[in-house]
Amino acid sequence: MKRVIEIMPLCIIFAIYGCSSNSNSAVEQNNTKTLYRAINKDDTATFNIHLTDKEFFGQFEINYHGAYKDSGDVTGIVKGDTLKGTYRFQHYGVEEWHRTPIALLKKDGKLIMGVGSMEIYMNIRYFKKRIPINYQDPKFVFEKLQ
């Protein structure tokens, strides 16, 4: 009986380790990210995104004229060919975090970043609901990098 009590914790540890290593490998297989880049005049944006049928997340960076940049994380939901979410970022050299909405349209293997009117409620920016987001004159058009 004493021997069983000594072996039981080791069996539990091996069982937990075995389950966690299998789940991590499944996450790594499904966690493939795609790198996109867009150029608008002197500004360059890079977007490293993980995209599923229902949600997306990743890292987003905008480099303004090579002088300064905004960088941070993007998370959101996917509805058909539209991606809507939140870009949480810091300006280069400033510790304060900012938050702004982001809208992208998937079209012909590209991501088109829409522009829309915003409003602020309780210090959080949102796209105005009654005014559509404009994808005709985009801020950036992202193309996949191979």
What is the Cα–Cα distance from 30 to 51, expressed in whole angstroms?
Answer: 10
Q: Which of 53, 135, 131, 47 is nearest to 89 (CA)?
A: 47
Q: Return the higher-pLDDT residue of 22 and 117.
A: 117
Q: What is the identity of the amino acid at 127?
A: F
Q: Name residue 134's beta-bridge partners.
A: 115
Q: Are residues 63 and 92 in the same domain?
A: yes
pLDDT at 100: 94
Residue pointed to by tokens 């905004």: 70
Q: Are residues 38 and 71 in the same domain?
A: yes
33 falls in which pLDDT band (50, 70, 90)? confident
Q: Are residues 9 and 69 in the same domain?
A: no
Q: Are residues 46 and 76 in the same domain?
A: yes
Q: Are residues 60 and 131 in the same domain?
A: yes
Share of the chain above pLDDT 70, in %: 78
SS (H, E, C) 64-98: ECCCEEEEEEEEEEEECCEEEEEEEEEECCCCCEE
pLDDT at 141: 97
Q: Return the higher-pLDDT residue of 11 and 114.
A: 114
What is the Cα–Cα distance from 85 to 33, expressed in whole angstroms?
Answer: 17
pLDDT at 13: 52
Determine which helix (DSSP H) or strand (DSSP E) holds 19, and give its type and residue range. Answer: helix 2-30
Full residue range of the structural domain in which residue 53 is found: 34-144
Number of domains in the chain: 2
Confidence check: pLDDT of 43 > 90: yes
Q: Are residues 22 and 88 in the same domain?
A: no
